[in-house]
Amino acid sequence: PCRAQPKKKKKVDVKKEQAQKERMKKRIKKLEKAAPELIPIEDFITPLKYSESNRVRSLPALSPEESERRVLLLKKWCLFKQKQDEAEKKAIKALVESQQEALKELRLESEELYQAAIRRDEGLFPFERDGPSYTPPLPGYDPPEGKCVDITKVYTQ
Amino acid sequence: DALLGCHRSYRSRPTHGIGKFKYLLPQEVPKKRKEKVQMKEISAGTEYQYGDVNIQMTSYDLCLVEHFAQYVHRLCNRLSIRVNESYAMPTKTNEVLFLEERGSKMQLDAVLTTHQRVVQIRGLSSTFAPILLEILQSNQPEGVHLLVKQHTEADFKSRLKSRPELEELLAQMS
């Protein structure tokens, strides 16, 4: 049905919507201006209770034989660790050298195989490995029922 | 008096710059402005070199994981592998509850904290990668879970705080 005066609702709606959109855009611009922050890491913040206490540990005095024994033990340990480290470095060098030699021989054999071997391996990543455990899991162990609840603090900007 | 009070010294004369003294004072450090956290470019790497690779170490034991991360960093320095960054991911706290034998109440057993350290390297050659993985595996301490993967933008975003208001507004817009 036609009306004498057409409804003015449409124009006002469009204007209101435009104004709303502009307001939202302004708000988004304001929020985007602030740079994103990194989540603070709780490991690096010492809790206050460790800095407030006045307890001081008093250690007993060491006898000269005991300190002598400790110094000699330290020296032996240093030597042992040095030998271990050098052996490791030697092993790495040997690995690299043998790899290079093998690649040289392969190159002499066929150029194609050499090029294919040099290429990077896409299946290598992601690489996952669990560390060794002190005690392997028991075969017939029946653990009690329970659940794990994640209570990490969620930081919002 | 007016002639004597004049401080002008001509540039050709030896008395030029006679009154200067600021070069003798100690250098003032310019004020440090807060640097914006921006994502660095992620390199994809060529055919014979891997791009940005993340070595992530996770464990319940903080000291162990810290020391292992330091060891890996020093190893990469020694093997002349470029280390982009070496940072820590936020710690996760888990509450372990178990069901009591007699009764239906959940008993608090322990509160465990999971720590994660990341060492980001670039320019690892394809022939050396297996050797590096061997070294990492042989030196892996107990209880430390090792994960080696490519660096992605999602990894970087997981370090930043979430902005629910911005996300809400963006969802409303589209």
pLDDT (mean) for A21-43: 84
Higher pLDDT, A71 or A155: A71
Cis peptide before A40, with omega less than 30 degrees from 0? Answer: no
Residues of B in contact with A37 (CB under 8 A): 37, 160-161
Q: Look at residue A49 in the predicted model and tell me its pLDDT.
A: 81
Query: Under 8 Å CB-to-CB from B164, ≥6 apart: which residues?
Result: A156
pLDDT (mean) for A19-34: 84
Q: Look at residue A10 in the predicted model and tell me its pLDDT.
A: 67
Indicate whether B5 pLDDT > 70. Answer: no
Does the beta-carbon distance from A42 to B91 stay under 8 Å? yes
Do residues A44 and B115 lie in contact, with contact meaning Cβ atoms separated by under 8 Å?
A: no
pLDDT (mean) for B10-18: 85
Chain B residue closest to A92 (CA)? Answer: B131
Q: Look at residue B78 in the predicted model and tell me its pLDDT.
A: 92
Angle at B121 between CA A116 and CA B154, to 5 degrees: 95
Does the beta-carbon distance from B145 to A38 stay under 8 Å? no
Of the candidates A84, A82, A100, A92, which has an alpha carbon nearest to the alpha carbon of residue B79? A92
Residue pLDDT, tens place only, A77-133: 999 999 999 999 999 999 999 999 999 999 999 999 888 888 888 888 788 888 888
Q: Look at residue A70 in the predicted model and tell me its pLDDT.
A: 95
> Yes or no: is domain B52-160 CATH 3.40.50.2000?
no
Indicate whether A3 pLDDT > 70. Answer: no
Of the candidates B145, B147, B148, B149, which has an alpha carbon nearest to the alpha carbon of residue B59? B145
The residue behind tokens 């706290």 is B93
Measured torsion, CA atoms of residues B46, B48, B51, B54, in degrees rounded to the nearest 10: 160
Distance from CA of B38 to the nearest CA of A (A): 8
Indicate whether A36 pLDDT > 90. Answer: no
Interface test with A, best of B71, B78, B93, B174 (most A CBs within 10 A): B93
For chain B, the domains span: 52-160
Q: Look at residue A126 in the predicted model and tell me its pLDDT.
A: 85
Chain A residue closest to B135 (CA)? Answer: A92
Token reading at A19: 């104004």
Share of chain B above pLDDT 90, in %: 33
Rounded to two decimals, the pTM is: 0.79
Does the beta-carbon distance from B145 to A131 stay under 8 Å? yes
Residue B96: pLDDT band with limits 50, 70, 90: confident
Indicate whether B1 pLDDT > 60. Answer: no
Interface test with B, best of A23, A124, A153, A154 (most B CBs within 10 A): A124
Do residues B114 and B95 lie in contact, with contact meaning Cβ atoms separated by under 8 Å?
A: no
In whole angstroms, how large is the CA radius of gyration of chain B? 29
In the chain, the amino acid numbered A87 is A
**What length does chain A have?**
157
Average pLDDT, rounded, for chain B: 85
Q: Look at residue A64 in the predicted model and tell me its pLDDT.
A: 93
Indicate whether B2 pLDDT > 60. Answer: no
- Name the strand (E) or helix (H) holding A95: helix A64-109
Angle at A21 between CA A16 and CA A27, to 5 degrees: 125
